[in-house]
């Protein structure tokens, strides 16, 4: 299967309010969060070490601490997403990057909520749209993105067919 699925949100006028379930808080990056971020991502997106997180995220030119969001439970970061930009200095085109929650904390819409925190950031900082790349099998994430108002980007007919499978899986037809 060639290439990832892509989605876009044009404008941020219809975003819902942000409210967390009891026991959870939202914060942004603090120095030394690389280990906790790696631990979260290692449960769902790739293989990470602290060193690799520095190299590929927090030491990058376009990284800003205020753009990396964590939902915490007590002191423990349990979900994360990043308001990324694909090139340094970009001010209009946001990119939703690396959404993941620890398995013990899934099923509470933390993925939806940490994504919403990213979208509020883009809205409040004058960005015009937000894109993301994702994979066909990531049904909880895809359902959250659709609910928030992301739309599929159909790059070719293969994407239309793949999205039909996604909709069928979300509706329990597959
Ligand atoms: C993405 C992620 C953070 C979402 O976790 P979450 O916010 O706890 O999401 P939930 O488990 O509550 O699932 C979201 C929705 O998908 C539904 N869902 C989950 N699995 C499903 C399945 N197999 N078929 C149909 N619906 C499903 C849930 O019922 C829920 O629907 P609801 O909100 O109407 O109740 C989490 O799944 C994760 O960390 N996954 C691994 C990393 C990943 O895939 N990241 C996305 C990269 S693009």
Output the domain CATH number for residue 59: 3.40.630.30
pLDDT value at position 1?
56
Q: Which domain holds residue 48?
A: 5-170
* Per-residue confidence (pLDDT) for residue 157, from 0 to 100: 85
Residue 156 pLDDT: 85
Nearest CA residue ID for atom 41, ligand 1: 44
Q: Which of 70, 114, 140 to mutate to test the pocket of ligand 1 (most atoms within 8 A of CB)?
A: 140
In ligand 1, the atom with minimum distance to the C-alpha of 170 is 25
pTM above 0.75, yes or no: yes
Where do runs of H (alpha helix) occur along the chain?
A: 34-41, 50-53, 110-124, 139-148, 157-170
Q: Report yes or no: 111 and 144 within 8 Å, Cβ to Cβ.
A: yes
- Whether 134 lines ligand 1, by a CB cut-off of 6 Å, is yes
Q: How many domains does the chain have?
A: 1
Q: Low-confidence residues of the chain, pLDDT below 50?
A: none
Atom of ligand 1 nearest to the CA of 109: 7
């Amino acid at each position: 299967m060639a290439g990832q699925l892509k989605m876009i949100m044009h404008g941020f006028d219809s975003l819902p309010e942000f409210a967390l379930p009891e026991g959870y808080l939202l914060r942004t990056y603090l120095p030394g969060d690389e280990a906790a971020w790696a631990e979260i991502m290692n449960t769902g997106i790739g293989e990470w070490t602290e060193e690799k997180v520095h190299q590929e995220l927090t030491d990058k030119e376009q990284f800003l601490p205020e753009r990396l969001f964590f939902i915490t439970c007590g002191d423990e970061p349990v979900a994360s997403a990043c308001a990324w930009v694909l090139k340094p200095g970009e001010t209009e085109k946001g990119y939703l990057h690396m959404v993941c929650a620890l398995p013990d904390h899934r099923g509470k819409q933390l993925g939806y909520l940490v994504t919403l925190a990213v979208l509020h950031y883009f809205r409040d900082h004058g960005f015009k749209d937000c894109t993301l790349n994702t994979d066909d099998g990531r049904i909880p994430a895809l359902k959250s993105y659709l609910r928030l108002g992301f739309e599929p980007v159909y790059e070719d007919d293969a994407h239309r067919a793949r999205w039909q499978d996604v909709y069928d899986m979300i509706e329990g037809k597959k």
